[in-house]
A and B are shown apart, each in its own frame.
Chain A
Amino acid sequence: MAKGTCPNVDHGPMPSEGRFHMGTASLTWYSKNLTKPFTGFARPLANVLFIAAAMFPGIPGYADNTTLRLATTTSVDNSGLLPTLIPEFERESGYQVHVIAVGTGKAIQLLRNGDVDVVIVHAREQEDKLIADGYGVDRHDVMHNDFIIVGPMNDPAGIAGLTAAVDALQRIADSQSLFVSRGDESGTHAREKQLWGLAQINPAGTWYRATGQGMGETLQIAGELDAYTLVDRGTWLAYRQKSPLTVVVQGDERLLNYYGIIAGNPAKYPDINYQGATRLIQWITSAPAQRLIGNFTIDGEPLFVPELISR
């Protein structure tokens, strides 16, 4: 579980206007009167259900502009970076950020649908298309790290120590060594497909397995199967303690992994929280936030290189 702070344990999101809140007095009145038609066993049951429901927060939609919905890739959230950054932003800006961790493909789709206000993703081609289609605006580079290829200790494809990712994939295909793919249209999957394309291989066959799951699950599956897989360094650092796999290929230019932040286009969806999105973009590209990103480590190893400070 995330190690972030827990500001409001019992109340869900922060209070906002129009929320349905109930004092104890009115609660008693309601349970006495609204459940009057219930007799016999139905009465106490109705009371219990009613009080239980009333004790918890009401039914806020996203009508208010104090919440900001951020869809992001699992690698950014599960690595623990966002749980470090977001409380800082919330404290400074007063916004409540709802993080929805999904694959890059789905995050971009959510922004396209107007279901979220802002995304942090890593698949440049899809991002450019999103902007070209007019659904995304204000794209900024936030940070980068790199992908690596991990595999079993005994290295059946004999690729340990290579830097050229395309060569490595070629050898994996040639030796028919097991390779596990995300297969979920995530940023990682997009990069993997791009590399296979460069190697002019159409990966198929019993040695190539698509999980259709997140990075963590895919790493676990690769571990259980003694297979190779492409993984972002952030997730790898978070998981390597638990994984029997080891890094075999790293350091290729083509393995660099850029994360960008994109706001939804208010011209398409006037009621999205564009203000909040702008605020987050400003903040995350500011020096203090970039420093936080640069200082974020797992077991002493930095995970991400902040874009503005590194330049």
Chain B
Amino acid sequence: MNTLAQTTENALILLFTGDPELWNIIAISFSVSLRAMLFATPVALVLAFLLAYGRIPGRRIVISIMHTLLAIPPVVVGLTVYLFLSRNGPLGDLRLLFTQTAMIIGQMVLCIPILLAMGHAAFQGADRRAWETALTLGAAPWRAMFTVMHEVRFGLLAAIVAAFGRIITEVGSSMMVGGNILHYTRNIPTAIALETSKGEFAQGIALGIVLLLLAMILNFALTVVQGKGVITA
């Protein structure tokens, strides 16, 4: 049996000798999650803005639903998306099950509540004068929205980082709707699950290290960026 140290050593060797299989999985993970973020972020942030600044009827309900969805397990999302995309489901005709698109949809469902909840909190904390000042200086409402976004950018970046952190590490949804297909829908988390089930712990640890490094880089970057902001009223 491998010891922990041995496994980690093997993992580092795999990682830095550029094992193509490993890097392929890493590339898929990033490709899928970045695309999910690309589609989800603009929609979610604009919605969060509207929830905070617009007089949308029932917005309290929407917000509490979002907070509830924060706690939803990825497998439940996976199952739901699966049922929608399966041939007999309402979207079965699109033939999206076991594609990267299906994974992207699942991950969007997972990250939108985070973006909305944290984005909403950030906008809520923004000074309303920013919005009014932008308007009175001639900004159209949508431009004023971007101005407010710029003012609360650190809160929004934190939301984006948290959302990305959730989807790059989730296994339940990707496994269920992606199918863990080699070179196509096998991403870091599903690969870890698979390798662990095969007893290939070194592979699992190597991929785990990638996730850990990523989390570290993101958080350092966030800290550095936030350090530059001026926090006065």
Contacts and interface: CB of A to CB of B under 8 A. Distances in A.
User: In the complex they form, do A and B come into direct contact, defined as C-beta atoms under 8 angstroms apart?
Assistant: yes
Instruction: Give chain A's interface residue range (CB within 8 Å of chain B).
Output: 35 or more
Interface stretch (B16-24, B56-64, B71-79, B111-119): B16-24
A2 B160 CA distance: 34
A37 B24 contact: no
B88 A114 contact: yes
Interface in A220-235: 220
B24 A56 contact: no
A302 interface: no
A49 B37 contact: yes
Interface stretch (B91-99, B166-174, B209-217): B91-99
Interface string B100-139: 1100100000000000000000000000000000000000
A239 interface: yes
A90 B125 CA distance: 56
A203 interface: no
A217 B200 CA distance: 11
B165 interface: no
A101 B30 CA distance: 22
Interface string B32-60: 00110110011000000000000000000
A220 B198 CA distance: 9
B191 A78 contact: no
Contact of B28 (A12, A49, A101, A216): A12
A40 B149 contact: yes
Interface string A112-155: 01111000000000000000000000000000000000000000
Interface string A268-311: 01010000000000000000000000000000000000000000
B127 to A, nearest CB: 16
A59 interface: yes
A62 B94 CA distance: 8
Nearest to B101: A59
Contact of A1 (B37, B179, B195): B195
A45 B161 CA distance: 12
Nearest to A272: B87
A210 to B, nearest CB: 16
B218 to A, nearest CB: 13
Contacts of A69: 98
Given A100-B180, A115-B87, A239-B199, A38 B34 contact: no
B181 A238 contact: no
B150 A41 contact: yes
A181 to B, nearest CB: 16
A71 B30 CA distance: 25
Contacts of B20: 6, 9
25 contacts: A1-B191, A2-B21, A4-B182, A8-B183, A12-B100, A12-B183, A37-B146, A41-B149, A45-B160, A49-B38, A52-B31, A53-B38, A59-B104, A61-B94, A62-B96, A78-B194, A78-B197, A98-B185, A99-B181, A99-B182, A115-B98, A116-B98, A216-B199, A217-B197, A239-B199
Given A6-B21, A37-B146, A216-B198, 16 more contacts: A1-B203, A39-B146, A40-B150, A41-B149, A42-B149, A46-B42, A49-B34, A55-B31, A59-B99, A59-B101, A60-B99, A61-B101, A74-B197, A98-B179, A99-B181, A115-B97
Interface of A: 1-2, 4, 6-10, 12-13, 37-42, 45-46, 49-50, 52-53, 55-57, 59-63, 69, 74, 78, 83, 98-102, 113-116, 213-214, 216-217, 220, 238-239, 242, 269, 271
Closest 9 CB pairs of A and B: A40-B150, A56-B31, A114-B87, A100-B179, A216-B197, A62-B95, A49-B38, A41-B153, A52-B34
